């Protein structure tokens, strides 16, 4: 079994083109584990007023000058920023890093102005004042930050991109085995002990919507293929 999310099931194929596996046909989803919110962080050292409105105003005032960080070209953090920039009509400079820690370090020092990262990573830095979380990249607000708007409610609908994780098995797994595993997963994820564990990690259930798992995964493939195409992202 494999626990993966949008980076593997939505982004990898359009980003890399040639893979040694096909995520669409070689893997079967048993069910979802949950999702964690990504958040929009800004640097108080780069923006004297570290707010969402000030960020947008600064980027519009100096097209092509404001820098945003990511954990790598074509990463979830990169493409989420591209979706936000497209909605806001912003022209910013992308600075890819090799992972989140160095990107956060330069955000804290003011070398870059903004970064999308996981809520669990960002929350302690926000609480200490080293960075400011100014938007939640999901449809709903985060329980941990009830005063911070979601980007959807702030007028930016595209970056509704929770970092979900599902359990997958090889597509050739016998149907009775897959069904038994799926039932066991559903039982565990419905338990109160599991929900308590999710809340402790700032995670929520995945909103599947119409069409069930297959429909959800199809929408994710379409969304991220378009995001890779429009951003011009290349493997880092």
Q: How many CB atoms lie within 10 A of CB 8?
A: 18
Tally helices (H) and strands (E) across the chain.
Answer: 9, 9
Provide the percentage of residues in the chain whose pLDDT is more than 90: 93
Q: Residues for the chain: how many in total?
A: 236
**Token pair listed for 2:** 């494999």
pLDDT at 191 over 80: yes
Q: What is the pLDDT of residue 171?
A: 97
Q: What is the pLDDT of residue 207?
A: 83
pLDDT in tens, 114-125: 999 999 999 999
pLDDT in tens, 4-14: 999 999 999 99
Cα 179 → chain centroid: 29
Q: How many CB atoms lie within 10 A of CB 86?
A: 15
pLDDT in tens, 35-45: 999 999 999 99
Q: What is the pLDDT of residue 5?
A: 96
pLDDT in tens, 125-153: 999 999 999 999 999 999 999 999 999 99
Q: Could you tell me if 202 and 37 are in contact, meaning their C-beta atoms sit under 8 angstroms apart?
A: yes
Question: Which is nearest to 107 in space by CA: 41, 39, 37?
Answer: 41
Q: Could you tell me if 139 and 152 are in contact, meaning their C-beta atoms sit under 8 angstroms apart?
A: yes
Instruction: Determine the Cα–Cα distance for residues 208 and 214; give it in Å rounded to an integer.
Output: 9
Question: Angle, nearest 10°, between helix axes 212-231 and 76-88?
Answer: 70
pLDDT at 172 over 80: yes
Q: How many CB atoms lie within 10 A of CB 179?
A: 12
pLDDT at 235 over 90: no
**Predicted model pTM:** 0.93
Instruction: Indicate the SS3 state at residue 38.
Output: strand
pLDDT band per the 50, 70, 90 thresholds, residue 236: low
Q: What is the pLDDT of residue 166?
A: 97
Task: Kindly give, in sequence order, each residue whose CB lies less than 8 Å from that of residue 236, ignoring residues fewer than 6 positions away.
Answer: 72, 73, 74, 75, 96, 98
For the 38-136 domain, the top CATH level (class) is: alpha beta
Instruction: Give the residues across from 117 on adjacent strands.
Output: 39
**Residue whose pair of structure tokens reads 């007023």 in the numeric block:** 49
Instruction: Determine the Cα–Cα distance for residues 79 and 223; give it in Å rounded to an integer.
Output: 10
Instruction: Determine the Cα–Cα distance for residues 204 and 70; give it in Å rounded to an integer.
Output: 24
Task: Kindly give, in sequence order, each residue whose CB lies less than 8 Å from that of residue 75, ignoring residues fewer than 6 positions away.
Answer: 7, 11, 96, 236
Sequence ranges of the domains in the chain: 2-33+164-177+188-225, 38-136
pLDDT at 210 over 90: no
């Amino acid at each position: 079994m494999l626990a993966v999310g949008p980076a593997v099931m939505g982004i990898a194929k359009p980003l890399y083109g040639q893979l040694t596996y096909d995520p669409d046909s070689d893997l079967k989803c048993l069910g979802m584990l949950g999702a964690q919110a990504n958040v929009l962080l800004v640097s108080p050292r780069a923006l004297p007023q570290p707010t969402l409105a000030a960020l947008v105003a600064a980027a519009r005032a100096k097209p092509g000058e404001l820098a945003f960080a990511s954990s790598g070209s074509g990463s979830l953090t990169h493409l989420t920023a591209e979706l936000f920039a497209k909605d806001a009509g912003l022209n910013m400079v992308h600075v890819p890093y090799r992972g989140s820690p160095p990107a956060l370090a330069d955000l804290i020092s003011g070398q870059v102005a903004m970064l999308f990262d996981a809520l669990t990573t960002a929350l302690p830095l926000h609480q200490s004042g080293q960075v400011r979380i100014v938007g939640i990249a999901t449809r709903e607000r985060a329980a941990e930050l009830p005063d911070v708007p979601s980007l959807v409610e702030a007028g930016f609908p595209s970056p509704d991109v929770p970092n979900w994780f599902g359990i997958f098995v090889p597509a050739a797994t016998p149907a009775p085995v897959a069904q038994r595993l799926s039932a066991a997963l559903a039982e565990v994820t419905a338990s109160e002990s599991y929900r308590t564990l999710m809340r402790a990690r700032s995670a929520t259930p995945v909103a599947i919507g119409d069409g069930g798992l297959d429909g959800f995964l199809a929408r994710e493939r379409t969304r991220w293929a378009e995001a890779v195409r429009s951003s011009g992202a290349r493997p880092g």
